[in-house]
């Protein structure tokens, strides 16, 4: 069997990963996948003070890397990971508005996380995934993910507070995302974040540019920006403390990607387990490449899985199209300047929505996997992890400083295994 599939042309209702659509149908489908992930991939860097243009560019490059590492047999798009937000803010001291002036150490930490992620992929290729599922069952991964969301709560609330008009626009944006996600069509639910941005943006144009109740949106940089140009790449700085704090995020990405790959296997009816290790390696290398140039850490996206579930088109060539369109946008300073005009109250509303969903999604993970909270092992593991994360418990050992996300992750992993000693399987 060749490394890449042959991708024979098909006109069936269900298109498998190793098949392809006619060109006229494939291009719109690829653009649709780009739109589905664009809201989150644009929002994550803005919440960390990263350049959203670079995030979009490296999402396309990362998707190509993932495609090559998995032999073109795993349909996935890589976009900005929200798991990095809390640790990046902790490392850089980002205030939540404008460019992040201390981005270098965060990029070094992102590269460290990608290296650990790829190393785990190599181990999985040699040993299988059984040890991961024993080390990080749903009770543990859910607790760590929820702790990340709760750790970000003060950041979200701080950005939300302000003058009356500021809070109104932030609340309007937040409610808009919730309404579109709840009552929208299947297509609109996939882009609920983009629609929320549009509503909040329009409100600032009226209340700010029109009525003077808010700082007006400044379009001067957008007007001056050229349509095509080389992005402003950033260089990483390797600081031990930042790398120790950010690298454990790889564990969250492992659990997330593992679940996504198994879900894709279920949707396609094919065994994707042989590609799990290669998927981890692809995602890890993509995260390292992104961090080396100033981009965010990346991960597979559930939004794209939703598009595949609805369309029943799983052809991996679709994601090649989406990747090249993303790369083209990454080389458009005009596009990046447009993204940077998104007003602060709009980002504040989106931040509360996303941070809350990070925590709430973990509750869904517990429900879907029927985690037994009558078992004290699960109860104490989750409870301690949440308190450590929400309270941002930090400590130092020599020159190492471990923040709330690190202590929460460590507590979840150690407590679950400690409370399992002597128990029957």
Per-domain residue ranges of the chain: 23-139+216-343+357-418
At 218 the three-state DSSP class reads coil
User: Is it the case that residue 48 has pLDDT exceeding 70?
Assistant: yes
Q: Would you call 348 exposed, middle or buried from its count of C-beta atoms within 10 A (0-12, 13-18, 19+)?
A: buried
Phi, psi of 274 (to 5 degrees): -60, -15
The per-residue DSSP string of 116-147 comes to HHHHHHHHHHHH-SHHHHHHS-HHHHHHHHHH
Here the tokens at position 419 are: 């409370």
pLDDT tens column, 171-224: 999 899 888 888 877 667 766 777 888 899 999 999 988 888 888 888 888 888
User: Is it the case that residue 11 has pLDDT exceeding 80?
Assistant: yes
pLDDT band for position 397 (50/70/90)?
low
pLDDT tens column, 99-119: 888 999 999 999 999 999 999
Predicted TM-score of the model (pTM): 0.78
The mean per-residue pLDDT over the stretch 334-361 comes to 80
Q: Would you call 398 exposed, middle or buried from its count of C-beta atoms within 10 A (0-12, 13-18, 19+)?
A: exposed
Q: How many CB atoms lie within 10 A of CB 138?
A: 19
User: Is it the case that residue 390 has pLDDT exceeding 90?
Assistant: no
The mean per-residue pLDDT over the stretch 290-310 comes to 82
Spatial distance between the Cα atoms of 39 and 183, rounded to a whole number of angstroms: 18
Provide the mean pLDDT of the chain: 85
The mean per-residue pLDDT over the stretch 328-357 comes to 83
pLDDT tens column, 303-324: 677 677 767 888 999 899 989 9
pLDDT tens column, 116-146: 999 999 999 999 878 887 888 888 888 887 8
């Amino acid at each position: 069997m060749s490394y890449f599939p042959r991708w024979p042309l098909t006109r069936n209702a269900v298109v498998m990963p190793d098949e392809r659509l006619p060109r006229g149908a494939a291009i719109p489908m690829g653009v649709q996948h780009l739109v589905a992930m664009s809201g989150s991939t644009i929002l994550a860097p803005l919440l960390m003070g990263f350049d959203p243009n670079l995030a979009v560019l490296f999402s396309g490059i990362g998707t190509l890397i993932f495609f090559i590492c998995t032999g073109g047999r795993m349909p996935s798009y890589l976009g900005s990971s929200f798991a990095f937000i809390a640790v990046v803010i902790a490392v850089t001291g980002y205030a939540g508005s404008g460019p992040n002036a201390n981005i270098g150490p965060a990029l070094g930490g992102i590269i460290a996380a990608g290296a650990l992620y790829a190393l785990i992929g190599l181990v999985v290729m040699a040993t299988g995934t059984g040890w991961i599922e024993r080390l990080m069952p749903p009770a543990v991964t859910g607790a760590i993910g929820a702790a990340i969301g709760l750790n970000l709560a003060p950041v979200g609330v701080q950005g939300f507070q302000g003058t009356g008009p500021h809070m109104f626009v932030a609340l309007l944006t937040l409610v808009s995302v919730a309404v579109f996600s709840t009552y929208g069509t299947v297509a609109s639910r996939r882009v609920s974040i983009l629609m929320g941005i549009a509503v909040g943006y329009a409100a600032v144009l009226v209340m700010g540019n029109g009525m003077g109740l808010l700082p007006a949106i400044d379009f001067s940089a957008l007007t001056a920006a050229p349509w095509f140009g080389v992005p402003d790449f950033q260089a990483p700085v390797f600081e031990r403390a930042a790398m120790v704090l950010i690298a454990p995020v790889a564990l969250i990405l492992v659990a997330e990607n593992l679940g996504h790959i198994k879900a894709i296997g279920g949707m396609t009816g094919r065994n994707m387990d042989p590609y799990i290790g290669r998927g981890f390696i692809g995602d890890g290398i993509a995260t390292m490449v992104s961090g080396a140039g100033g981009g965010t850490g990346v991960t597979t996206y559930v939004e794209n899985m939703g598009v595949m579930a609805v369309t029943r088109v799983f052809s991996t060539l679709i994601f090649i199209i989406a990747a090249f369109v993303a790369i083209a946008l990454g080389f458009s300073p005009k596009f990046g300047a447009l993204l940077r005009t998104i007003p602060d109250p709009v980002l504040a509303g989106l931040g509360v929505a996303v941070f809350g969903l990070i925590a709430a999604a973990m509750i869904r993970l517990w429900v879907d996997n029927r985690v037994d909270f009558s078992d004290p092992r699960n109860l104490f593991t989750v409870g301690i992890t949440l308190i450590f994360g929400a309270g941002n418990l930090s400590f130092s050992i020599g020159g190492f400083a471990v923040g709330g996300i690190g202590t929460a992750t460590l507590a979840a992993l150690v407590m679950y295994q400690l409370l399992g000693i002597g128990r029957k399987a």
